[in-house]
Amino acid sequence: MEKLIIDTDPGVDDAQAILMAAAHPNATIAAILAVGGNVGLEHTLRNALTLVEVVEQEIPVYAGCSKPLVIFQEDAADVHGQDGLGDVGLAPQTRTAESEHAALALVRMANESPGEYTLVAIGPLTNIAVALTLDPTLPEKLKRFVVMGGAVTAHGNTSNVSAEFNIFYDPEAAHVVFEAWEAHGGLIELVDWEATIRHGIPGDVIERWHALDTPKSRFYQKMSAKTLEFIRNIMGRSMMFGADPLAMAVALEPDIVTKAEVRHVSVELTGMYTRGQTTTDWNQRNGRTANTNIILELDTDRFFSLMEQGLK
For residue 307, give the 3-state DSSP assignment: helix
SS3 annotation, 37-49: CCCCHHHHHHHHH
Distance CA 101, CA 98 (A): 8
The partner in contact with residue 293, picked from Ca ion, ligand BDR, none with C-beta cut-offs of 5 to 8 angstroms by kind, is: none
Q: State how beta strands 239-240 and 257-263 pair.
A: unpaired
Residue 192: CB minimum distance to ligand BDR, A: 8
* Contact (CB, 8 A) for 192 and 146: no
- CB count within 10 Å of CB 185 equals 11
Residue 36 identity: G
Residue 2: CB minimum distance to ligand BDR, A: 19
The partner in contact with residue 157, picked from ligand BDR, Ca ion, none with C-beta cut-offs of 5 to 8 angstroms by kind, is: ligand BDR
Q: Which residues pair with 34 in a beta bridge?
A: 8, 63
Distance CA 43, CA 39 (A): 6
The partner in contact with residue 158, picked from ligand BDR, Ca ion, none with C-beta cut-offs of 5 to 8 angstroms by kind, is: none
Q: Which residues pair with 260 in a beta bridge?
A: 295
Q: Tell me the CA distances in angstroms from 70 to 17, 41, 66, 74, 168, one per residue in order.
A: 28, 16, 12, 13, 12
Using the minimum distance from each CB to Ca ion, give the nearer residue, 2 or 13: 13
Using the minimum distance from each CB to Ca ion, give the nearer residue, 121 or 290: 121
Using the minimum distance from each CB to ligand BDR, give the nearer residue, 138 or 246: 246
* Contact (CB, 8 A) for 17 and 42: no
Residue 113: CB minimum distance to ligand BDR, A: 26
Using the minimum distance from each CB to ligand BDR, give the nearer residue, 121 or 138: 121
Question: Phi/psi at 83 (nearest 5 deg)?
Answer: -95, 5
List interacting residues with Ca ion (CB under 5 A): 9, 11, 14, 122-123, 244
Active-site hit among 9, 75, 83, 170: 9
Annotation marks residue 83 as catalytic: no
The partner in contact with residue 304, picked from ligand BDR, Ca ion, none with C-beta cut-offs of 5 to 8 angstroms by kind, is: none
Distance CA 82, CA 87 (A): 6
Residue 292: CB minimum distance to Ca ion, A: 19
List interacting residues with ligand BDR (CB under 6 A): 11, 13-14, 38, 76, 79, 122-123, 148, 157, 164-166, 193, 243-244
The partner in contact with residue 182, picked from Ca ion, ligand BDR, none with C-beta cut-offs of 5 to 8 angstroms by kind, is: none
Residue, CB closest to ligand BDR:
165
For the chain, count helices (H), then strands (E): 12, 12
Residue 193: CB minimum distance to Ca ion, A: 11
Using the minimum distance from each CB to Ca ion, give the nearer residue, 80 or 263: 80
Catalytic residue positions? 9
